Amino acid sequence: MSIQTRRERERAERERLIVTAARELAEAEGWDAVTTRRLAAEIEYSQPVLYSHFKGKDAIMAAVAVQGCADLAAELRQARTAVRGTREALAAVAQTYTSFARRRPALYDAMFTHLVDLPFATEEAPVPLREAFGELLAAVDPIAAEGEEPGLLTETFWAALHGLATLMRSGRLPQEGHDRRMALLVGHFAGR
């Protein structure tokens, strides 16, 4: 193994360590607890080492968001492909999405609530962002009527899921109505 290859591998491992530590700290204590000083102490590297990988907390949060989108895409794909039927796939994706938001609140916030320097809805978007949206699109596309833009319909479905997840997490919608709301959403989209 060349010295250059070893250095690149070590650098990638440090980046994974930083992102994992930030993600775990945010899930345990919230994003306010994630500082470069605290992360440096958590991973036992100096702050200059962190800054050699990331410009600051916002860049770390963006890396966490990209990783979270990869996780979400995998969960959505598994849910979508585990069932048969268009309506069932749409329902499975909807439940998986809102469950992800509920189970991983700090990660979800990094992905879709906090302002991060990531290009969304463009060709420049990182692959995991496009894959997560692609899984939503794969569930919604079969219900698009002729002449409808599946991408816009998917964005609308995603916005509804995000709204439900956010309002439930904040306590503005009661948890006990979740299943009925999901049935209404899926029924509206699938029964078009």
Backbone angles phi, psi at 45, to 5 degrees: -125, 160
Express as a percent the part of the chain with pLDDT over 70: 99
User: What's the whole-model pTM score?
Assistant: 0.92
Q: Which residue has the tokens 């899930």?
A: 27
How sure is the predictor about 1, in pLDDT bands with cuts at 50, 70 and 90?
Answer: low
CA–CA dist 63, 137 (Å, integer): 23
CA–CA dist 110, 11 (Å, integer): 23
Measured between alpha carbons, how far apart are the two ends of the chain, in Å?
58
CA–CA dist 63, 16 (Å, integer): 9
Instruction: Express each pLDDT in 70-119 by its tens digit.
Output: 999 999 999 999 999 999 999 999 999 999 999 999 999 999 999 898 98
Q: What is the dihedral of CA 119, 90, 140, 172, to 10 degrees?
A: -50
How sure is the predictor about 192, in pLDDT bands with cuts at 50, 70 and 90?
Answer: low
Q: What counts of helices (H) and strands (E) characterise the chain?
A: 9, 0
Q: Which residue has the tokens 């509804």?
A: 160
Structural contact between residues 175 and 79, judged by C-beta atoms closer than 8 angstroms: no
DSSP code for 122: S
Chain mean pLDDT for the chain: 94
